[in-house]
Amino acid sequence: MADLKMAESDSKTQLFDEIDDIHAGMLGVEGSGLHMQPMAPQLDRDTNTIWFFAKKSAEMVEAIKPGSHAHFCVIGEDHDYHACVAGPISVNLDTAKRDQYWNSVVEAWFEGGKDDPQLTMLALKMSDAKIWASTDSKLKFGWEIAKANLTDDDPHVGVTKEIRF
């Protein structure tokens, strides 16, 4: 369940926790003409960067040019947390990050292991994000809808915040 108090008071940490908890989100490069695609995030909290392993021959990798920007969409495991992160994206085979984030799942995609000639990484430097955290309480949701229908107030079933990095 999304912690609504944390969404209000420490939305950046909550976003980072949610990114760390998902197996994949949807990554898209602005202006590329490509659909967003599922990618597994590797979060570097210290630099506000999300790293992704990719194949050099992938359409997305080929679409990234100097100055490219991307969006990464996050949906929490319980579907009560949503976020969209945006920022510049680059192709960057940082060997230290490769070694830090390498695991058996990544290895399954690259026959040549860490030295596979198709292996590269993408670095999304987060510049801003917007989050939506909502209650999963059916009672609270029902109460807020009923109250809104009896008054001129909008239902309060969650928190929306913008984050700048």
pLDDT digits (tens, 9 = 90+) for 55-90: 999 999 999 999 999 999 999 988 889 999 999 999
How many angstroms separate the CA atoms of 44 and 108, rounded?
22
Sequence-distant (6+) residues with CB within 8 A of 103 are none
Task: Report pLDDT for 99.
Answer: 97
Q: Output 33 or 143, whichever has higher pLDDT.
A: 33
CA angle 49, 18, 104 (to 5 degrees): 70
- State what percent of residues in the chain have pLDDT above 90: 76
How many angstroms separate the CA atoms of 142 and 20, rounded?
31
How many angstroms separate the CA atoms of 21 and 35, rounded?
24
- Confidence band (pLDDT; 50, 70, 90) for 159? confident
**pTM value?**
0.88
Q: Kindly provide the b/e burial profile for residues 35-45, where b requires at least 16 CB atoms within 10 angstroms of the residue's own CB.
A: ebeebbbbbbe
Q: Which of 37-41, 140-144, 149-153 has the highest mean pLDDT?
A: 37-41
Q: Output 155 or 69, whichever has higher pLDDT.
A: 69
